[in-house]
Every structure is written in structure tokens, then in C-alpha cells.
Structure 1
Amino acid sequence: MTVKSNTGGKTAIVTGASSGIGFAIARRLLGEGWNVVGNARTDARLVEAANRFGAGDRFTGVAGDVADPRTAQALVDQAVARFGTVDALVNNAGIFLPKPFIDFTPEEIEQQIATNVKGTIFASQAASRHMIGRGAGAIVNITASIALQPRSNVPAFMAVLLKGGLNAATRALALELAPHGVRVNAVAPGIIDSEMHSPESHGFLKTLQPTGRLGTVDEIADAVLYLVGAGFTSGVVLPVDGAASAGNFS
């Protein structure tokens, strides 16, 4: 039997919570008094993240592949068992693989579809069923700025296809769930200083941002924190990209 925590407060599920943007989002929510159920592929990564959070029993994890609907349901079940409810879902887990279109292998295509699309769908389905039942909730999808403004010098067909689809799906789901009190938004990050990019690449990557710098994981967490609390905001795709999606620039 699982004993519920006595910490109270709101509860969020964050996928891909053990590193990078997902870790920063979970850390920010914990810092604001939320309970967090995090997901990563392995228990070891979750244990390491929990130690870094230092949040005691306000953080718990569910290991597994988000493309597996059983993992998605386990996240919701764990949240309800430990904390009583799910107030927010942050679909952060994703794969970004920039390379020429003709070079994508079938395996790479399937992997990106599984994590970026199926992972978002299954987690959102499981969370939505719970949120509809209680008449409230917020879903935030982490997409990509490049899907709003593709670039000729950054070949990223799969990211544009999949994250662009999620941007459109965010608006569609916001309309569908609005009568049930559930809000759905997205954050579209630009190039962020995280483990995804080697320090050697930062010089070039900065030239792709009109502001001349990379974004930070905490700036993405700021946007997520705003959207989970913005009660009259739904169907929004919020670029956090230093104006990279505003149009062409030299």
C-alpha cells in the first residue's frame, strides 16, 4: 500500500526530469512548493536527480519509456497515490536530432516519433482523464522554436515536423479540453545552454539567436511556471528563444 504524503500543495508530473530543461522545471516547481512526480528512463537517473533536488518526500519518480502507455498511466497513478491529485503535466521528454533530411535512418525516425509524439500523447491522455474528472488542470508541452521558424543552416526536418505538429495539437487540445476546465499550452525553446550542446558549439549557436546568446534552462522553467498558473491562458505556444522565431535576421 502506498501512503499519501502530508506535504499538501499542488502536484506536477514532469517527463524527462533527470537532466537539462526537465530537471530545471522540476527544480523550479519544487522550489515553489509543488510536489513533483518525475520521469526518466532509469531508476538510477531518478535517484541521482532526487539527491540533487533535496526535496525530501515532495519528489518521487517513475522510471520507464514515456512512449509506453503503461509508463504514462503509472505517472498519474503514482501522483494520485502519493499526493492525491495531478494539477499539471509538463511534457518535456524529447529528442532533437539535427541532420540532413536524406540521412535520417528508419530507426532514428521511429525513435523520435516514439518519444516526441507518442510520449506526449500517452501522458496527456492519462493526465487528461484525471483532470477532466476533477474539472481542473494544466498541460504544458515543450516543443521547439525552430518549428515556428525553420532555418536553412540548421537542417532539422524531424523537429519541425514533430514539434510543429505538437504546436498545432496544443491549440486543438486546448479547445477540446476548455469546457472541462483543463488548459493546454506550449513553450517553444530556442537554443538553450544545456547538456545537449557541447561548449565548443556555443560560438556558432549564439549566431543563430538575435540576442547573441543562448537561453538558460531556468528561463524555460520561468515560462512553464507562468503557464501552469495562468488561469485564463490556454492554446498558447510561447516562444522563449531570444526572438529567433520572430522572422529572418542576419
Structure 2
Amino acid sequence: MKNKTVIITGASTGIGKAIATYFIERDSNVVMNSSNEENLKNTYLELGSPSNAVYLAGDISSQNTGKELVRLALETFNSVDVLINNAGVFAPKPFLDVEEEDLELYWNVNLKGTYFTTQAAIPEMIQQQKGSIINIGTVLVDHAIGGFPATAPITSKGAIHSLTRQLAAEFGKSNIKVNTIAPGIIRSPLQEKIGIEDADSLAGLHLLNRIGEANEIAEAAYYLAASDFITGETINVAGGHTVGHAI
């Protein structure tokens, strides 16, 4: 992945920050995005203002943001080799309390953001006859938890899982690989945002009896980005969350 150009959305905190750090440290060219310009700038500075990275703030639910990210990648690094659609929002809310504005939020940011940014990147990958797109889903699409009602965000993530397979089929002949990473419970600022004070208390949801670290998602993303023969897959990085239960 040295000198390959990687666009990462939601790169200012949590999993996205870990992914950006991982690729930057391995000499990939990275275009970082977040809707929060202050957080994004601070993360860039924290990483030492690396010469192999640039950043652009913008809301990915807007088609223009994806176009601008691709433009910046081409202008700065002359290619678009990998797109990692990490940006997203997630919070639990009982099904009967979900309102139209909730659905609009998750579908706009999670699904439309992934859709539009991918739509901007694929034409360049077709020209190159090579590319990798990595979407971030969730194990909760295939392993629902009754005590954690989150139908609004999970339906948007489920759509991303389906989108992954369809894109893999549609663009496989152009040597474009499309995969999803479905994380389990990962230590990140998201846990606190949704009211989970002690993320480690959820360790029992995983057969390995611990929660995951953001760097472990970054490792999986790097593997998929470098792979030439994996496409259309959903890779669970979840410590056995979807496999079974410990009693």
C-alpha cells in the first residue's frame, strides 16, 4: 500500500482516526475527511502534519463532498486507489419512539454518505482498472440484541451490507473490490456518546470475552485494501460476536 492513495471518511476520531494513522504510518497517501473541521485539523496536527496526508472537512451526505474528496486526492496524489467509508452515526432508540427525522439522519449520513462518496470514487477506479472500497457496517445487522433497540441506524447499515454485494457484482470486471467490515463492540468515543459508561462491561457479547480496539479494525481495513482476490464479503471483526454465546 506504499504510495497508494486512500480516502477515509470520518477520520478525526475513533475507528476512522485509527485507520488513518495505520495507513499514514505505512506510507500510504491519505485524504482525511470529517464533518467536524476542528476535530479533523486537531487530528492532523496530532499525527504530526504528515506530508503524505491532507484533510477536507465536509458532510458526506452531500454529493459535493465526495466529489471534492476525489478532486483533492487526484490533485495532491494523482490517484484514488482505496475508499474507506467509515463516517457514520449510531445511537439506540426504541422502535416505537423512532420518528421520521431519526430515519432521515441515519439514511442520509450512513447510507447516502456511503453511496454518494462511492459514486464519486468509482469512475476514477474504472479508469485505473483497479480499486478497493471498504464500507463499515455492524455485526448487529446479522446478530440483533433485544436489549439494544436500534432499528433506525441498523436498517441503514443493513442497506450498506447489501450495497457492498451489489457493487462487487457490478464492478468486478473493472477489478474493483468492494467489501464490508462489520465491527463488534469497539473501544471508541462512540460508546460514551450513546451512553455506555463502561464499554468493557460488554465484553461478554464476544467469545473472546473482551471488546475490540480501533487498531484491530484498521488492521482489517489494511488487509482488505491490499488484497486482490476478496470482494463482496462482509468481514466480522468481532471476537466471535456472531458465532455463538458463552454461558
| Both structures adopt the same fold (TM-score exceeding 0.5) | yes
Structure 1 contact 149–247 (Cα < 8 Å) conserved: no
Matches of 1:162 and 1:211, distance apart in 2? 28
Counterpart position of 2:16: 22
Secondary structure, in 3 states, of the residue corresponding to 2:191? Answer: coil
Secondary structure, in 3 states, of the residue corresponding to 2:224? Answer: helix
Name the Cα RMSD after superposition: 1.4
Matches of 2:220 and 2:49, distance apart in 1? 22
Counterpart position of 2:240: 243
Match for 1:17: what amino acid? A
Structure 1 contact 144–190 (Cα < 8 Å) conserved: yes
Match for 2:218: what amino acid? A
Pair 1:152–1:79, CA change in 2 (3 A): same
Counterpart position of 1:219: 216
Counterpart position of 2:5: 11
Match for 2:53: what amino acid? F
Structure 2 contact 103–153 (Cα < 8 Å) conserved: no
**Pick from 53, 64, 72: which aligns with 2:58?**
64
Unmatched tracts of structure 1, length 5 or more: 1-7
Q: How many positions carry a matched residue from both structures? A: 243
Matches of 1:249 and 1:166, distance apart in 2? 29
Matches of 2:244 and 2:119, distance apart in 1? 34
Structure 1 contact 18–40 (Cα < 8 Å) conserved: yes
Secondary structure, in 3 states, of the residue corresponding to 1:196? Answer: helix
Match for 2:51: what amino acid? D
- Share of identical aligned residues, percent? 37
Counterpart position of 1:132: 126
**With structure 1 as the length reference, what TM-score do the two structures score?**
0.93
Structure 1 contact 150–160 (Cα < 8 Å) conserved: no
**Displacement, 1:13?**
0.2
2:160 pairs with 1:169: no
Counterpart position of 1:145: 139
Counterpart position of 2:198: 201
Counterpart position of 1:101: 95
**Displacement, 1:87?**
0.5
Unmatched tracts of structure 2, length 5 or more: none
Counterpart position of 1:155: 149
Matches of 1:132 and 1:203, distance apart in 2? 43
**Displacement, 1:97?**
1.1
2:43 pairs with 1:54: no
Match for 1:226: what amino acid? Y
**Displacement, 1:9?**
0.9
**Pick from 30, 36, 39: which aligns with 2:30?**
36
